Structure 1
Amino acid sequence: MNRVVVLTELFYPERTSTAYFLTAIAQGLVTDYPVIVFTDASLYESQASSLASYVVVKGVEIHRCSGTAFDKNWLPGRLVNGCTRAIAIFLQALWQCHASDVVLVVTNPPLLPFMAWLLKTLKGCEFVLLVHDVYPEVLSATGLVHNHSLVYRLVQRGNRLVYAQASRIITLGRDMQKLVGQKFTQPVEGKLVCIPNWAETEMIYPVDKQDSTLLQRLKLVDKFVVLYAGNMGRTHDLNILLDAANILTKTHPQIHFLLIGAGARKPEVEARVQEQKLQNVTVLPYLPHEEKNVALNSCDVGVISFVPGMAGVSVPSRMYNQMAAGKPLIAIADHESELAKVIQEEGIGWLVSPHDGDQLVKLLTQIVNDSELCNDMGHKAAQAVLCKYQLKHAVSKYQSLFRELIPKTTSLAQETLKK
């Protein structure tokens, strides 16, 4: 019988966004096909390897492969981790894959899609590429690699070869689909498929800000709270928030910035807050997973901030959860990005150009006393999620895609009925 083979560095029980989405996709596909997952054995937030090498969860077989476990916030260590884990996953998959399997591989770590291509070459199995970040553009946007450098050109060429070998390429947004499409010299109709991520509606829903236990504990219930919740990595512009806070601390002390998360840029943020004595900024680590709804409802408006040049390179999954919490959004992002498009199409927030601190300050001073507008946009955001961005919407599209690639396979559900 045909199987779906998933190659991913992160999977259940990890609680990163990548692990959550890949786990949900695998569990959605297991109703049609046997699903086998090859993933890393280390916990993302820990250097310890503490997970069983083999386990079955909700019908999905999970095989764990051991790579290195250096600190993910140390760039050289993260690169080594990505390479060793991709190779370990490949070696396990090589031993167990069949020509009749269809591989689903995600773009992080960036070496992993090359392992899927190698599996296709050696074992004859097709692969579907799920693009979370577009390389090498993401390296250029973060300043790690210059877009005229030899490294950039080599990575670009390599990824074009991988894209050409994929049976289908799944992108998370229309901007990403456009960017990926530009890497082909020939028409690729039918090969590119846009399947947005979704909100965790099983645990994220609107709660009145006044009832936030977090804001009550921080004594911020009466403030106009601007929330940044998520990764504080190299692709995110956090300085624009601190610049705005520095200006508004004197002119509009009722506006308070709440930053929750972790990442490479967090130490810089904490140092600047302390150095400039920004009393209107609170920086917190991630709350426990079960308190995610508390965190996302602890604001008047949510903000997602990117450095310039990220349109098409990455689509923030946190957008959908913030929408599900019924809060309006400020997107500090390229105006052609999927994030900007969703906000404009649904009428659920505002756009600010990257690095334009004056525009952000002006916007916040305009909306700080307009609770009716914020509430209206927040309601629209929650409704948009229920209509378009739930797990069932995405799983249905993944099921349809794999049925196109494996049209003659009888589903597990159908076999069970026959028995």
Structure 2
Amino acid sequence: MKRIIVLTELYYPETTSTAYFLTEIAQGLAAEHEVTVLTGASMYESRSASLPQYEVVKGVEVQRCRGTAFDKNWLPGRVLNGCTRAISIFFKTLWQCHSTDIILVVTNPPLLPLMAWLLKGLKRCDYVLLVHDVYPEVLSASGLARPTSGVYRIVQAINTRVYQQACRIITLGRDMKQLVKNKLPQSTAEKVVCIPNWAEPDIIYAIQKSDSPLLKHLMWVDNFVVLYAGNMGRTHDLEILLAAAEVLAIKQPQIRFLLIGAGARQLEVETTVQQKHLDNVTVMSYLPNDQKNVVLNSCDVGIISFLPGMTGVSVPSRMYNQMAAGKPLIAIADNESELAQVIQEEGIGWLVSPQDDDQLVKLLTQIMNDSELCNDMGHKAAQAVLCKYQLKHAVSKYQSLFRELIPHNNISSPVDTKQLN
């Protein structure tokens, strides 16, 4: 009988988006199949020692492997983390898996799919590839490797083999689906499916801006607030926000920018704000997870920004929760991106070309006094989440996919020994 083995660097109780999504997917699949997760230890040393190497959580068998836990914002440390954890997960999987098992592997870190490919060759087991970021294209978009470089070409060659050998490939958006299909022979392109991520409408929902404790603390309740909440990484166009803020500090000082998150460029952003004395910009690190609804409601409009060339490379999961909060969205992204497509289809916001701060300034100046339009778009966004982007919608699609791969499965899931908080 077949078992699903999930390979992921991060899993519960980690609070990153990758850990959250893989946890919910594994638990959804455990309702119909035997599921084992092989994952890394906690990224936090203080927590890592207290986590058991083996436990069963909501029907999912979880096994934690060793690995380094350097600061992920330090690039060499992030590479070492990915390498040590992927290798540790590989050897444990090699010891345990059988030809009848099916591996579900996520592309973060990028070494894990390579391990799944090797396991297929060594153990004759199939694998399903869940694409969160497309390599090597993300390296080029983030400025880490040129398309003409040797590193880029090597990663391209390896990943082409990985994609071709997968029995199914799951993408998070239609733009990503097309990019992945371009890597495959036309005869195998049908194995690529799109299953979007989802929002958490049970904990993320619209509240009145005037009730936001965060905006009351900042004394911004009466201002027009633009919120950027999420990763401040190498692929995000953060310069456009600061350039627009610099202009609007003089032209429209009632427009304020609230930037909440962390990442490789957080210090750069904070330094720019200080050096240019941008009093209309506040930069904050992530607030506790139980404050997520407060954060996403502390604005008039949410903003998600990418550098040019990110179409299909990555789909921002944060957009679904921002929608659930009943706020319109400004997408700084290519027109063909999944983010842009959702905004256009649902009529829930506006598009701005990457690096075009003049366009962003004009847009914010136009909408700052149109609360009726913003409220209408925000309502549509929340309704779209309820209709299309909930956990139950995604789990149903994952279950359908694995029913095709495992048509006859009568194995009962392990008994729970622990409940999630």
TM-score where L is the length of structure 2: 0.96
Could you say which residue in structure 1 is the equivalent of 2:341? 341
Distance 1:13 1:53 in 2: 13
| Cα offset, 1:50, TM superposition | 4.2
Cα RMSD (Å) of the superposition? 1.2
| Amino acid of the structure 2 residue aligned with 1:271 | T
Native 8 Å contact 1:47 1:69 kept in 2: no
Alpha-carbon displacement from aligned partner over 1:339-393 (angstroms, at most 9, x marks no partner): 0000000000000000000000000000000000000000000000000000000
The farther-off stretch of 403-412 and 340-349 is 403-412
Q: Which runs of 5+ in 2 are unaligned?
A: 414-421
Q: Which runs of 5+ in 1 are unaligned?
A: 414-419
Fraction of identical pairs, as percent: 73
Distance 2:335 2:58 in 1: 41
The farther-off stretch of 241-250 and 92-101 is 92-101
SS of match in other structure, 1:214: helix
Could you say which residue in structure 2 is the equivalent of 1:150? 150
Matches within 5 A, 1:131-150: 131-150=131-150
Alpha-carbon displacement from aligned partner over 1:312-342 (angstroms, at most 9, x marks no partner): 0000000000000000000000110000000
In the alignment of these two chains, the number of paired residues is 413
Native 8 Å contact 1:258 1:283 kept in 2: yes
Native 8 Å contact 1:43 1:49 kept in 2: no
Could you say which residue in structure 2 is the equivalent of 1:291? 291
Could you say which residue in structure 1 is the equivalent of 2:416? none
Could you say which residue in structure 2 is the equivalent of 1:246? 246
Q: 1:45 to 1:386 in 2, by over 3 A?
A: farther
| Amino acid of the structure 2 residue aligned with 1:288 | P
Could you say which residue in structure 1 is the equivalent of 2:417? none
Distance 2:163 2:231 in 1: 27
Distance 2:75 2:45 in 1: 15
| Cα offset, 1:43, TM superposition | 2.3
| Amino acid of the structure 1 residue aligned with 2:361 | V
Could you say which residue in structure 2 is the equivalent of 1:212? 212
Please say if 1:317 is aligned against 2:344.
no
Could you say which residue in structure 2 is the equivalent of 1:301? 301
Distance 1:165 1:50 in 2: 38
Matches within 5 A, 1:179-258: 179-258=179-258
Could you say which residue in structure 1 is the equivalent of 2:28? 28
Distance 1:72 1:50 in 2: 21
Could you say which residue in structure 2 is the equivalent of 1:363? 363
Could you say which residue in structure 2 is the equivalent of 1:84? 84
Could you say which residue in structure 1 is the equivalent of 2:279? 279
Distance 1:178 1:411 in 2: 36
Give the structure, 1 or 2, with the largest relative contact order (CA under 8 Å, sep 6 or more): 2
Alpha-carbon displacement from aligned partner over 1:250-307 (angstroms, at most 9, x marks no partner): 1101100000000000000000111111000011111110110000000000000001
Could you say which residue in structure 2 is the equivalent of 1:328? 328
Please say if 1:173 is aligned against 2:145.
no
Distance 2:317 2:348 in 1: 16
| Cα offset, 1:34, TM superposition | 1.0
Could you say which residue in structure 1 is the equivalent of 2:119? 119
Could you say which residue in structure 2 is the equivalent of 1:417? none
Distance 1:50 1:333 in 2: 42
Native 8 Å contact 1:11 1:23 kept in 2: yes
Distance 1:300 1:376 in 2: 12
Q: 1:258 to 1:108 in 2, by over 3 A?
A: same
SS of match in other structure, 1:129: strand
